[in-house]
Amino acid sequence: MSMTQPPKSDAGAQMLAGARWRWHEGLFWLAAIGLFFLFGDFIPGVPTRLMLLSEIISLGLLALSIDLVLGYAGVVTLGQGAFFGLGSYVAALMAKAGMGAFPLSDPVVGLLAAAAVSGFAGFVTSFLVLRGSDLTRLMVTLGVALILAELANQMRWLTGGADGLHGVIMGPVLGQWDFDLWGRTAYLYSLAVLFVCFWISRRIVNSPFGLSLKAIKGNALRARAIGVPVNARLVAIYTIAAAIAGVAGALLAQTTQSASPDMIAFHRSADALLILVFGGAGYLYGGLIGAGLFRVMQDVIGNITLQYWQFWLGLVLVLLVLFVRGGVIGLIEGMRDRLTRKGDAP
């Protein structure tokens, strides 16, 4: 406690500084743009991987939406995939009905519609997760996801059942850029959408509203006692996260020009949760980094031993959860703190 005390008017500036963009964040987004030039069929000999990268973005955005409810508000969910799937069906159905013409086949219109529908579904089901323990919440969110997945499977006339929706024709992005075979438009479009959603999420977690979410996660009893409307805040963040998950699903449907039961299946919720914990919950970047590493590991380990890749994934996950707080990002922070001997992590 020997630190000298700054004058009090600095305190606000210090808190504001906590919300300022850091250089390594700039690096992250620059790297994401760099991947476009590296894997976009510009360099001879380097394979084209933009479709895979777009899929990673969609998955990362889903994990980001889980981070908002789990990493910040402390609500565990196994059902975020339901909102993802809902968003993908909404986007695919709209584009299919629009036959490639504005407005129904316009990608941005599709995203907004997916966000609205998924957000509404999130709002309605949020009241189910207000009560109860972590276990109850896991089961309730899982149950909602299973119901939606089965509905998508059974409503064959609308969703195409087990075959899914194909022949979806997307209009050009903003009326300008058509989706191309290399996935260049798909990647830049996905990256732009990811950035916008990320930016909004970042504003949220650094706001007074975001602070109250952290307080609810830390101690809901005390939060209530100082006047925090705990339920209203949880409903709000659950709704926002569901809308973002819907956008993530719509992105995948639009860039792959299809929607399938696989997009709403339970394993997507579980994968996304795993990805978030793997990358580190409560940093916003955890889901994005986790999604990248998850798919790269899947590729690399899959090339060495196709059958056992989940074995190695599981092993890494267990080690990470047992020995490192905060996933991959927690690991990096820990190493940095040891190097700089800063003590408490920010």
What residues line the site for another protein (CB under 8 A)?
A: 1, 3, 5, 8-9, 11-19, 203-204, 206-212, 214-215, 217-219, 221-230, 232-233, 236, 344
Q: In whole angstroms, how large is the CA radius of gyration of the chain?
A: 21
Contact residues for 199 (Cβ-Cβ < 8 A; gap 6+): none
Dihedral angle at the C-alpha atoms of 302, 303, 307, 313, nearest 10 degrees? -30
Q: Which is nearer to another protein, 71 or 164 (CB)?
A: 71
Q: Which is nearer to another protein, 14 or 133 (CB)?
A: 14
Q: Which is nearer to another protein, 226 or 322 (CB)?
A: 226
Q: Whole-number minimum distance, CB 250 to another protein, in Å?
A: 23
Q: Which long-range contacts (CB under 8 A, 24 or more apart) does 105-113 make?
A: 105/169, 105/170, 105/171, 106/171, 106/175, 107/170, 107/171, 107/173, 107/189, 107/254, 108/173, 108/174, 110/170, 110/250, 110/254, 111/193, 111/247, 111/250, 111/251, 111/254, 113/250
Q: Whole-number minimum distance, CB 180 to another protein, in Å?
A: 36
Q: Whole-number minimum distance, CB 230 to another protein, in Å?
A: 7
Q: Whole-number minimum distance, CB 18 to another protein, in Å?
A: 7
Q: Whole-number minimum distance, CB 123 to another protein, in Å?
A: 16
Q: Which is nearer to another protein, 140 or 235 (CB)?
A: 235
Q: Which is nearer to another protein, 160 or 326 (CB)?
A: 326
